[in-house]
Amino acid sequence: MKAFISVDLEGMPYIVAPSQLNLKRVLYEEARKIATKTTLIVADELHKNGFEEVLVADSHGPMVNLHVEDLPEYIEVIRGFPRPLSMVAGIEGCDAAIFLGYHAKFGTAKSTFDHTYSGGSIRKVEVNGVEVSEFLLNVYVAGELGVPPIMVAGEAQLLRDDVEKWAPWVETVALKSSLSRVAARSPSMAKIEKELREAAKRAASKLKAKKAKLLIAKKPVDMRVAFLVSHFADVAELLPTAKRVDGLTVEYTAKDMTEAYKTFELLVLAASGVSSFITEQM
């Protein structure tokens, strides 16, 4: 069997400061070590429970966060951005999906670094009328490609809001409970490791027992994207398939979730481009 692991940073334990999330900031190295250790713990337990291969998608920011020295032979890593299917690049052909370090969607109260895909441009994303987090957005893509989610470890509010509601068969581990957007309570790493290993073992067992399910979005897929500022929507509206809904929002219809996701990626990149352009003129 082959496992796919998508790794984000904001939902990792102990990560509460912006300086832990940026390549150029002083505490970034600490976050890299935490994320790498968490990923290797889960990968090791999966390997012990029947997964001959583990594909890890480094999926935060520029997507070059994890330490890749001395990786076990059974692990491959996808790094770099932009790339097709972004946080779930390479998931096709895998037997199960695991999401580590994931966080709640934009606007979630008392949730560290709440945002949806792009903290600098996106306010809300809806798939067929359902507001999605990054977890739900990525799981819809996985489901369309025949890959069931079996485990999520991240910020506690995400687990309550989205994972338990939309994928109740998934094994979960709360890596931290937030006190505010920039403060959280985390267990010891020893306790986290124990819970991660137990959850990974149960997840592998559920998959073998055929208790894991696919979460598939109805086709065609109706997408609605609300931006943080109106000039991002101005640019998004230039896409021939996009319809302006209001000052901040566009909507479009895609034939399937893969097409919907790629179009969304393009809109985010366009917003980033116009943001840089405007900043240079100030």
Residues classed as catalytic: 115
As a whole number of angstroms, the distance between CA 242 and CA 236 comes to 7
DSSP string over 152-203: EEEEHHHIIIIIHHH-TTSEEEEEEEEEETTEEE---HHHHHHHHHHHHHHH
Beta strands 171-180; 122-127: pairing state: unpaired
Block residue for tokens 């809001």: 161
The CB density around residue 124, as the number of other CB atoms within 10 Å, is: 17
DSSP string over 58-87: E-STTS--S--TT--TTEEEE--SS-TTGG
As a whole number of angstroms, the distance between CA 20 and CA 9 comes to 9
Q: Which of 83, 8, 80 is nearest to 39 (CA)?
A: 8
Beta strands 171-180; 2-7: pairing state: unpaired
For 275, which DSSP code? H
